[in-house]
Amino acid sequence: MARLVVAASGLRGSLGLLVAARARERGHEVAELTDLRDREGVLAALAGADAVVLVPRRGNAWQHAHGAVVTLTAAAAAVRATPHLVLLSSFATGHGPMHPLNRTDPALLPGRTAAEREARSGRLPYTIVRPVWFSDDPAGSHALTFTQDPRTDGMIARADLAATLVAAAEEPAARGTTFALYNEPGPPLTEWAAAFAALRRDADDADDADDAESREAGPEAGPAEGFAADPATALVSEGRPAAGRGRDTALDSGPRDQPRVGGAPGPVPRPAPTSPTGGTLA
């Protein structure tokens, strides 16, 4: 049994609640964080934590994704903890600025990219999960495929995604990886360790070239007030402007021969980048 922190909005029916429920089913002690501005609550939750699953709430990605990663990392340092950080991102991050989802809000892609980069460059072990469109299919109804193709698309059951986030927190083989996942016909995934072990490590992509387009100006949020000597207002306001850094280097250099785990051999499905019937991202 491990101590697992779920940082999410806490709304009824949200993915964060599914993650917390799955973790409890697996026998873990679970602490739920719904307000990263509550300094004492955050510090208490992270003290002795083995893993943190971050499900950023909707809205400003600079605050709720990047700022949350910075806050959790700073809080972990304050209590001398090194939990495994599992960050929920989005498949649209791999598609780049031309994907319709990234064009709905000019801050969405830069904020998510900055959150991923912050996780990779931070002091905590991490896993970054990029789900595709959500469905409400029952858990285990389909096969589950992991891919590191940056242009992937498809659908994923929320329950299967929650199971994956908890499995990533449990399995050392998931550390240092970024991957997308989707459902397809077939039996459910049961060999989690083997699935994570088949993925390419992000460190293998460390020499990929920077892209100026990913360094668009944006208010990179600092940790929530009280977690650093120079506190910003992450998760409260736009945060303090800071110079953009280089882009993240995993899953951004175009399609390659990628490991596909959990599904039948064949090309990664790439339907048009619009939500299939019933698919959502929330």
The pLDDT tens digits for 66-121 are 999 999 999 999 999 999 999 999 999 999 888 988 888 888 899 999 999 999 99
Question: How would residue 4 be classed by pLDDT, with cut points 50, 70 and 90?
Answer: very high
Question: How would residue 232 be classed by pLDDT, with cut points 50, 70 and 90?
Answer: very low
Instruction: Please report the pLDDT score of residue 123 as a whole number.
Output: 94
Eight-state DSSP code of residue 269: P
For residues 85 and 105, give the distance between their C-alpha atoms in angstroms, rounded to a whole number.
Answer: 26
Eight-state DSSP code of residue 203: G
Instruction: Please report the pLDDT score of residue 213 as a whole number.
Output: 38
Helix (H) or strand (E) holding 159, with range, is helix 158-170
* pTM, rounded to two decimals: 0.78
Chain-wide mean pLDDT for the chain? 79
Number of helices (H), then strands (E), in the chain? 8, 9
DSSP of 240-263, one letter per residue?
A: --B---PPP-SS-S-------BSS
Q: Checking DSSP bridges between strand 29-33 and strand 51-54, what pairing results, if any?
A: unpaired
CB 143 within 8 A of CB 96: no
Sign of CA dihedral 166, 142, 202, 100: negative
Question: Which residue would you say has higher pLDDT here, 123 or 258?
Answer: 123
In percent, how much of the chain has pLDDT > 90?
62
CA 94 vs. chain centroid, Å, equals: 12
Q: How many CB atoms sit inside 10 A of residue 216's CB?
A: 15
pLDDT above 80: residue 236: no
Taking residues 173-191, report their average pLDDT: 97
CB 154 within 8 A of CB 281: no
H helical segments located in 35-155:
39-46, 61, 68-78, 92-95, 108-121
What is the CATH number assigned to the segment(s) 3-215? 3.40.50.720
Which amino acid, one-letter code, is at 19?
Answer: V
What is the radius of gyration, based on Cα positions, of the chain?
17
CA 132 vs. chain centroid, Å, equals: 12
pLDDT digits (tens, 9 = 90+) for 128-139: 999 999 999 999
Taking residues 50-75, report their average pLDDT: 94
For residues 139 and 262, give the distance between their C-alpha atoms in angstroms, rounded to a whole number.
Answer: 15
Taking residues 149-164, report their average pLDDT: 95
Give the CA angle between residues 65, 168, 66 to the nearest 5°. 10
